[in-house]
Amino acid sequence: MKKIVAWKSLPEDVLAYLQQHADVVQADPARPDAFVAALREADGGIGASVRITPAMLEGATRLKALSTISVGFDQFDVADLTRRGIVLAHTPDVLTESTADTVFSLILASARRVVELAEWVKAGHWQRSIGPAQFGVDVQGKTLGIVGLGRIGGAVARRAALGFNMRVLYTNRSANPEAEAAYGARRVELPELLASADFVCLQVPLTAQTRHLIGARELASMKKSAILINASRGAIVDEAALIEALGNGTIHGAGLDVFEQEPLAADSPLLKMANVVALPHIGSATHETRHAMARNAAENLVAALAGTLTTNIVNRDVLQR
C-alpha cells in the first residue's frame, strides 16, 4: 500500500477516498522534525498553506507526487520538485467562480464603503439621514483593469461587463480572444491600464517576475480616484508603498484579501485606514468550493501516484524525464 502524508485536515469523505488507495498519515508542519520524517516515508503528499522547502524534501526519496489544495503554487520550489522527479498538482478550475465572487465583493465593498459604513451603523452613528460624507463611488459603467486575464480574471471580466456594464481593460502574456469577444475586453500595456482604470484588479500568480509588480511608481501612475483590488497574492504589491499611497491620497482606496505576511499583523497600518477593506484570504473559502478543492486535490494525487494524471499538473516537464 502506498503512503500519503496530509498536512491539512481533510473532509471525511475525501479522507475515506484517499484511504481506499493508500495509508494516510496526518502530519503537523508546526512539528518540523515529525513532518519531515513523515515526508521521508511517503509516496505522496497533500495539503495547503505551508511552505514546502527543498530542505524538507532531503531524503524523501520515495516521494513521487505532491498535491496542493489551491490554485496557487508559490509555496513550492517547482524547479526543485522537477529535478527530484516529483509531480506537483493543483486545483485551478473548481475555485474560479467563488474567487471571482470574492474579487467582486471587494470591488463593491470598497467603492460603496460597505464595511466602513456597516461599522458606523453598529457604533450608533446613524442618527439622521446620511449625506455626502457617507457617499461612495459608482461601480457600474466604470473601467476595470485586470492585470492577468486567466481563469479567475476571465470570471471577473464576465461579472464586470455583463453584470455591471463596465469597460474591461486587461494585461496578459497572451491575448484572450474569448474575453475580447464575449466581454469587449481590450488588451493594453500595464502603464495604460494603470492610468485609465477606476478599479485595478490583480490576478497574476506570484513569481519572481510578478513580486512587487505594483510599487510606488505604479501606484503614482494610477488615478487619484482609483481603487486597487488584490485577491491574488500579497507580495504582488509592495505593501509599504501601498500604505504610503493610501495614506497620502495617491489612490482612493484598496480592497485586499491577501498580504505580504499572513495572517496580517494586528498592528498593520492598513487596519487603521477607513479606505481599506481587509479580508483574511477568503478567496475560495466557501464550504462548497473548499470541499470541491479537497476532492479535486485528492483525485489529482491518486492519479499522479498511479501515473495517470493528465490535467492540473504544474510541472508538466517532470513527465518527460
Q: Does residue number 292 form part of the binding site for ligand DGY (CB under 6 A)?
A: no
Closest CA to 142 of 218, 78, 225, 208: 225
Q: Angle 151-158/96-112 helices, nearest 10 degrees? A: 50
Q: With respect to ligand DGY, which residue has the nearer C-beta, 18 or 94?
A: 94
Closest CA to 70 of 312, 317, 319, 235: 312
Question: In angstroms, rounded to a whole number, what is the distance separating the alpha carbons of residues 192 and 184?
Answer: 17
Q: Give the per-residue contact string, 200-229, with ligand DGY (x = CB under 6 A; - = no).
A: ------------------------------
In the region spanning residues 21 to 80, those forming contacts with ligand DGY, defined by CB under 6 A, are: 70-72
128 is catalytic: no
Q: With respect to ligand DGY, which residue has the nearer C-beta, 285 or 319?
A: 285
- The partner residues of 201 in beta bridges, in order of sequence, read 146, 229
281 is catalytic: yes
Question: In angstroms, rounded to a whole number, what is the distance separating the alpha carbons of residues 28 and 148?
Answer: 34
Strands (E), 8-163: 22-26, 44-47, 65-68, 87-89, 143-147
Q: Which of 21, 281, 295, 299 is catalytic?
A: 281
Question: In angstroms, rounded to a whole number, what is the distance separating the alpha carbons of residues 152 and 57?
Answer: 31
Q: Site for ligand DGY (CB under 6 A): which residue of 45, 150, 154, 283? A: 283
Closest CA to 89 of 321, 242, 307: 307
CB of 97 to ligand DGY, least distance (A): 13
Q: With respect to ligand DGY, which residue has the nearer C-beta, 169 or 264?
A: 264
CB of 190 to ligand DGY, least distance (A): 22
CB of 220 to ligand DGY, least distance (A): 28
Phi/psi at 213 (5° precision): -55, -35
Q: With respect to ligand DGY, which residue has the nearer C-beta, 258 or 270?
A: 258
CB of 92 to ligand DGY, least distance (A): 9
291 is catalytic: no
CB of 298 to ligand DGY, least distance (A): 15
- Three-class SS state of 206: coil
Q: Give the per-residue contact string, 233-272, with ligand DGY (x = CB under 6 A; - = no).
A: ----------------------------------------
In the region spanning residues 80 to 119, those forming contacts with ligand DGY, defined by CB under 6 A, are: 95
- The partner residues of 186 in beta bridges, in order of sequence, read 169
Question: In angstroms, rounded to a whole number, what is the distance separating the alpha carbons of residues 295 and 17?
Answer: 9
At position 217, the amino acid (one-letter code) is R
CB of 316 to ligand DGY, least distance (A): 19
> How many of the chain's residues bind ligand DGY (CB under 6 A)?
6
What count of residues does the chain have? 321
Strands (E), the chain: 2-6, 22-26, 44-47, 65-68, 87-89, 143-147, 167-171, 186-187, 199-202, 227-230, 253-256, 276-278
Q: With respect to ligand DGY, which residue has the nearer C-beta, 43 or 255?
A: 255
Q: Which of 58, 119, 178, 262 is catalytic?
A: 262
Q: Which of 233, 239, 252, 299 is catalytic?
A: 233
Q: With respect to ligand DGY, which residue has the nearer C-beta, 205 or 269?
A: 205
Q: Which residues bind ligand DGY (CB under 6 A)?
A: 70-72, 95, 283-284
The catalytic residue positions are 233, 262, 281
